[in-house]
Amino acid sequence: QVQLAESGGGSVHAGGSLKLSCTVSGLPFAEYCLGWFRQVPGMERELGAIAGIDDDSITYADSVKGRFTISQDNAKKTVYLQMNSLKPEDSGMYYCAQALTYVLKNARLRPNEYNYWGQGTQVTVST
């Protein structure tokens, strides 16, 4: 059974930090691209791209460059998202995802490139 399990969400004040984790089971870890996305509050069908990682190649959305860092630990089958200098607009449900086929670097921020998704972890940033 394929499972992606996110954790690490919570409530912080603006300027604070959180580190999200996503542990993958039931499929080869990181054989292809892993990504993080945010569901925009109030827009249930829209997923905002955060970052995608394929081995050492990383792509970030412009809105998080310099503040967020995606990384992976193959031994632990876990992908991380370190979030610093958080802003209220970073609030939302964060999802990790894994693709089952190769994803071009310029396509890693597209949700429809990913095949498996976690259930999400909530991040709330207050002023």
Task: Find residue 38's DSSP bridge partners.
Answer: 48, 94
Q: For 81-103, write each residue's pLDDT tens digit.
A: 999 999 999 999 999 999 999 99
C-alpha 94: how far from its chain's center? 6
Going by pLDDT thresholds of 50, 70 and 90, the confidence category of residue 121 is: very high
Strands 47-54 and 34-39: antiparallel
Predicted pLDDT of residue 46? 64
Q: For 4-57, write each residue's pLDDT tens digit.
A: 999 999 999 999 999 999 999 998 887 889 999 999 877 765 677 888 888 788
Going by pLDDT thresholds of 50, 70 and 90, the confidence category of residue 3 is: very high
**Which whole-number Å values give the CA distances from 29 to 19, 38, 72, 80, in the listed order?**
20, 21, 10, 13
DSSP 8-state code for residue 45: T
Backbone angles phi and psi of 105, in degrees to 5: -55, -40
Strands 121-126 and 10-13: parallel
Going by pLDDT thresholds of 50, 70 and 90, the confidence category of residue 73 is: very high
Predicted pLDDT of residue 5? 97
HSE at residue 104, side-chain half, CA atoms within 13 A, is 2
Predicted pLDDT of residue 54? 85
